[in-house]
């Protein structure tokens, strides 16, 4: 069993099945559940302090998402994707996020764009910024786009293919400390997205965001101690431009 922090308690005012789904899914994304780890309805119900019924419904949805697979009538496990499958899922997420940025383009007001500009300046201002702070700022930048797009259906699709935990993301950010050229390109990518958003050109925004996101996928899947980190980032930019 995983030694990561346990699952959060559920709020009775909301659908327990939906909350169980979100809690377990978040657990998979954050590493509370390891790839290949076996789980049971009863065990999850105990950890969430609910009956087995909402957990059963949540697991059915997670099976449909391809995040959980059934081992036996009572036991399931977290799906362990092959490297190829994982890469394809992350590229799908990059394309969907680019589409979300397209939808956000006409809806972002000047105040939001100013906030995003301040975030980009903060990202590039301090090379020794902590990994946690970098990830927080990058997430704030993305959240501005999510809020403006305001498309729950698309956001749900994005979440369905976005489940790598924070350890992998932190490792990719940490690798940039040893590859300043890669870090500079990541910051420049944010600036290019912001410039495209200012232009109010949805085609340019989608293309620019996708190029940046695809490069991020390759960086994310490259080990931090691998000498090809910089090459992976460059390849990602090239593939997205093709």
Residue 203 inside a domain? The answer is: yes
CA distance 125 to 134: 11
How many domains does the chain contain in total? 2
User: How do residues 216-232 score in pLDDT, each as one tens digit?
Assistant: 998 888 754 444 445 44
Clarify whether residues 166 and 183 are in a common domain.
yes
Clarify whether residues 151 and 221 are in a common domain.
yes
User: How do residues 23-78 score in pLDDT, each as one tens digit?
Assistant: 998 888 777 888 889 999 999 999 999 999 999 999 999 998 888 999 888 889 99
Q: How is residue 87 written in tokens?
A: 């890469």
Residue 6 inside a domain? The answer is: no
* Cβ atoms of residues 98 and 210 within 8 Å: yes
User: How do residues 76-122 score in pLDDT, each as one tens digit?
Assistant: 999 988 888 889 989 999 999 999 999 999 999 999 999 999 999 99
Clarify whether residues 156 and 194 are in a common domain.
yes
Q: Exposure of 221 by Cβ count < 10 A (0-12 exposed, 13-18 middle, 19+ buried)? A: middle
Q: Exposure of 140 by Cβ count < 10 A (0-12 exposed, 13-18 middle, 19+ buried)? A: middle
Range of the domain at 144: 83-241
* Cβ atoms of residues 232 and 222 within 8 Å: yes
Clarify whether residues 110 and 41 are in a common domain.
no
pTM of the model: 0.74
Residue 70 inside a domain? The answer is: yes
**The domain that contains 64 carries what CATH number?**
1.10.10.10
Clarify whether residues 97 and 144 are in a common domain.
yes
Clarify whether residues 68 and 96 are in a common domain.
no
Domain boundary among 37, 61, 78: 78
Clarify whether residues 87 and 45 are in a common domain.
no
* Cβ atoms of residues 234 and 224 within 8 Å: no
């Amino acid at each position: 069993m995983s030694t990561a922090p346990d699952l959060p308690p559920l709020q009775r005012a909301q659908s327990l099945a939906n909350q169980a789904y979100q809690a377990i899914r978040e657990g998979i994304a954050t590493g509370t559940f390891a790839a290949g780890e076996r789980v049971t309805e009863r065990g999850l119900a105990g950890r969430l302090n609910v009956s087995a019924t909402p957990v059963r419904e949540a697991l059915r949805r997670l099976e449909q998402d391809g995040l959980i697979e059934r081992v036996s009538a009572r036991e399931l496990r977290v799906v362990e994707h092959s490297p190829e499958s994982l890469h394809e899922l992350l590229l799908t997420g990059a394309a969907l996020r680019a589409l979300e940025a397209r939808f956000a383009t006409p809806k972002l007001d000047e105040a939001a764009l100013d906030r995003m500009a301040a975030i980009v300046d903060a990202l590039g201002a301090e090379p020794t910024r902590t990994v946690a702070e970098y990830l927080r700022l990058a997430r704030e930048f993305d959240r501005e786009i999510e809020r403006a797009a305001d498309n729950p259906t698309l956001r749900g699709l994005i979440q369905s293919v976005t489940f790598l935990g924070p350890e992998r993301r932190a490792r990719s950010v940490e690798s940039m400390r040893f590859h300043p050229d890669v870090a500079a390109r990541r910051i420049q990518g944010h600036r290019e997205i912001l410039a495209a958003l200012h232009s109010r050109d949805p085609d340019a925004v989608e293309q620019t965001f996708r190029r940046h996101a695809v490069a991020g996928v390759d960086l994310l899947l490259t080990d931090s101690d691998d000498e090809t980190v910089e090459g992976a980032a460059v390849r990602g930019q090239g593939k997205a431009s093709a």
